[in-house]
A and B are shown apart, each in its own frame.
Chain A
Amino acid sequence: MLTAPFRVRRNRRESPDTRTLELVPMEEREIPGWRPGQFMMLYAFGVGEIPVSISGDPSRRDALTHTVRAVGSVSRAICAAKADHVIGVRGPFGAGWPDRADGRDLLFVAGGLGLAPLRPAVYAVTADRGRYGRVLLLVGARTPETLLFRADMGRWRKRGIDVQVTVDAAAPGWMGAVGPVTRLIDRAECDAGAAVAFVVGPEIMMRVAAEALERRRIGLDRVFVSMERNMHCAIGFCGHCQLGPAFICRDGPVFPYAGLKRWLEVRNL
């Protein structure tokens, strides 16, 4: 799949180190079809290419939306891209979130930037809210200042999503929860016998979240995680993102945790 040039239409600050970019195709191309949970390869010309999840509303097809944290040379270059700057785009790649939650309670569990890959799925659920039982979005962040998509949270609450936020530390005046996201899982009101959970965040956070969900008797075959590995080719050829028998780029990035657990327990894999 070839890299296509996309123009930055908008670059919005989400937190001190995180930006959301809207990209529109050049050369009269169309925006490729995509599903919540899939990712694109974004190329900062002359710097390099990285995988970035799509973070926009799937019902909007006028732009590709990506949320990027500036942590390395490529992500810093992408975050610094101003309007009309050109970025290379390949994709979409990978499997999206499964469509298996009809009639069930649904838990979204996001840690830090993990809310970005979940955001399209939350949008999709709010657009078809009647299909699901209780829907909870449990969000953990370092501090209130690093919380992403705060405006969305208010809108989602109005659409029947129980949005709960916890931070690791806060200044006086913060009225929300303080503590790890597992505390929200422990207290979440849901039908644990049938509920489905989508979890995204750093690997250690997904592991402790899955353990907390299992303690709540939510079977690990109903817990789905979105994995991050060193993805290069994005089509399962180069092997950089291999985890056990799976290529994260091609077979994932979304996996049922039950199948992934044994590989995540292998140290240094």
Chain B
Amino acid sequence: MEKDIEALVSEHPFFANMPQTYRSLIAGCGRNTFFEADALIARTGDRSDWFYAIRHGRASVEIHAPGRGPIIIQMLEPGEIVGWSWLVEPYQWRFDVRAVEPVRAIAFDGACLRGKCDRDPVMGYDFMKRFAQVFVERLEAARLQLLDLYGSPAR
């Protein structure tokens, strides 16, 4: 069973070029998971014990605005990561995440991974660099969305 997860981890772009020994260790904290379309993967404020590597399907990151209802602020595609709240205290989801179509993903136990990263800081550093890339991409995207790129009066 664990070998299956290891194969799935090896195929996922987030873990590309990671040493096999690390992938094996990380796979030990993972399991295969599935969400039906419209299922809530994460809810704002809930404890964040997991993160997900999407294999198939797409998931929307949503924020609830009073009087406006939910607003989709990002659409996550296959090959992307759902969730970083498991990395930083107080380990709570900051946004809702919803499957907009059936989603197959690898679910990782955050506490299990934090423990392994603490015990093997070299692997932990490799892992953090990958998450740093995710943070940077999402921060840049958020800044561009804040700029209201399409709003100024072009022709």
Contacts and interface: CB of A to CB of B under 8 A. Distances in A.
Contacts of B74: 178-179
B153 interface: yes
Nearest to A116: B155
Nearest to A182: B144
Interface in B114-148: 140-141, 144-145, 147-148
A171 B70 contact: yes
Interface residues of B, number: 27
Contacts of A71: 153
A239 interface: no
B87 interface: no
A169 B148 CA distance: 11
Contacts of B148: 142, 168
A117 B155 CA distance: 8
State the main secondary structure of chain A at its contact with B: mixed
B18 interface: no
Nearest to B75: A178
Interface string B63-74: 000000111111
B149 A140 contact: yes
A204 interface: yes
A191 interface: no
Interface string A201-240: 1111100100000000000000000001000000000000
A135 interface: no
Interface of B: 60-62, 69-75, 77, 98, 100-101, 140-141, 144-145, 147-155
Given A39-B155, A111-B149, A172-B70, 4 more contacts: A112-B151, A142-B150, A142-B151, A181-B149
